[in-house]
Amino acid sequence: MHSYAAALHRTIMAVDVAGYNNPSRTLAHLREVHEGLWRVLRTTFAETGIPWDSCYVENTGDGAMILLPPDIAKADLVAQFPARMRDELRRYNHVHAEEAQIHLRLALHAGEVAEGSHGRVSKAASFTFRILDAPEAKAAQKAAKADLALIVSDLVFQDVVREDPAADPGSYHRIPVKVKPGEHAAWAWLRLLGAVNGVAVSASGEAKSEGFPALIEALLAVPCVRKAESRRLLLEMFPRREIADAVPYHAEDRLHVIALARTCERYASGMADLLAAIRLLDPGSPQVEKVAALVETEAGRPVG
């Protein structure tokens, strides 16, 4: 009869270099990327005040799995760590050729981890790598050329990110996670930091459309959007509950409208759904048609 040590609840971090096996990278480039990755990780941990030597670190070849001690606050990992890592990536990439530059995906989850004879054993760790490999995260990062794609599990988002304004919950959007046959649908939350390809980058580092300020002004010109009472009704009538429920609340009208628009932009056809809901309350007004024109311009095709 075997006796096994009890599993412990740990915060799990998985990191992967985007495009690591790109054919343009030579062995010399890969060596530089490998060394750069570990310098970025160690420096980011130090600047966030997380002792590297107290973590369990496993090299995965083109990335790493890191188990953090229970006394490390998850709030620090979503409020401080991402921006510091983005800055370290910028410093590294500034002095390296394109073939040796590093763009990272970083996933965060938490769960039970057991110790096996040849490493750690954990369903939660397996799920962390599943969200790390989400095709939607890879595609979004590639399109935006973002330095860092931060992907957190729904558990971490609901329990940590959403509860801490410093984590900027409004900068995340929900993405599906590929599941195996017979498994329930799963979701994760994505935030891009340091996006530079055809998009503006806000002070907090996430990508947003260059036409976004004009869209906000147009939305605020629509009475049913500008007024808090009718905006609540608008959200109740929204055709997709997963979007309406993800909109962060702000008491100030302008901030709430910004949060509403940013959330809709992060879902496929989200802006078209917003426009459809607005037209139910205010059909055919010039203000609504101006919103429609801006949405059409951003989408590149007629809407509604």
Q: What is the pLDDT of residues 210-254, one digit of tens each?
A: 467 788 888 999 999 999 999 999 999 998 999 999 888 888 888
The full 3-state SS of 124-135, as one line of letters, equals: HHHHHHHHHCCH
- H or E stretch covering 285: none
Q: What is the pLDDT of residues 244-287, one digit of tens each?
A: 998 888 888 888 898 898 888 888 888 999 999 999 998 878 88
Tell me how far apart the alpha carbons of residues 103 and 86 are, in angstroms, rounded to a whole number.
9
Average pLDDT over residues 101-105: 95
Quick check: 300 pLDDT over 50? no
**Per-residue pLDDT, 75:** 87
Quick check: 88 pLDDT over 80? yes
Four-residue CA torsion sign, 180, 184, 187, 188? negative
Tokens of 205: 């580092």
Q: What is the mean pLDDT of the chain?
A: 85
Average pLDDT over residues 65-69: 91
Confidence of residue 294 (pLDDT cuts 50, 70, 90): confident
Taking a C-beta distance cutoff of 8 angstroms, is the pair 32, 98 a contact? no
Taking a C-beta distance cutoff of 8 angstroms, is the pair 58, 128 a contact? no
Quick check: 95 pLDDT over 60? yes
Confidence of residue 151 (pLDDT cuts 50, 70, 90): very high
Query: CATH 3.30.70.1230: does it fit domain 8-207?
Result: yes
**Per-residue pLDDT, 185:** 73
How many CB atoms sit inside 10 A of residue 72's CB? 19
**Per-residue pLDDT, 203:** 40
Burial class from Cβ neighbours inside 10 Å (0-12, 13-18, 19+) for residue 16 reads buried
Confidence of residue 5 (pLDDT cuts 50, 70, 90): low
Contacts of 140 (CB under 8 A, 6+ apart): 146, 149, 175, 190, 192
**Per-residue pLDDT, 178:** 77
Average pLDDT over residues 64-82: 89
**Per-residue pLDDT, 118:** 63
Confidence of residue 116 (pLDDT cuts 50, 70, 90): low
Percent of the chain scoring above 70 in pLDDT: 87
**Per-residue pLDDT, 196:** 60
Contacts of 247 (CB under 8 A, 6+ apart): 235, 256, 259, 260, 263
Q: What is the pLDDT of residues 152-187, one digit of tens each?
A: 999 999 999 988 888 888 888 888 887 666 666 788
Give the residue with greater pLDDT, 30 vs 268.
30
Q: Is 110 helix (H, G, I), strand (E, B) or coil?
A: strand
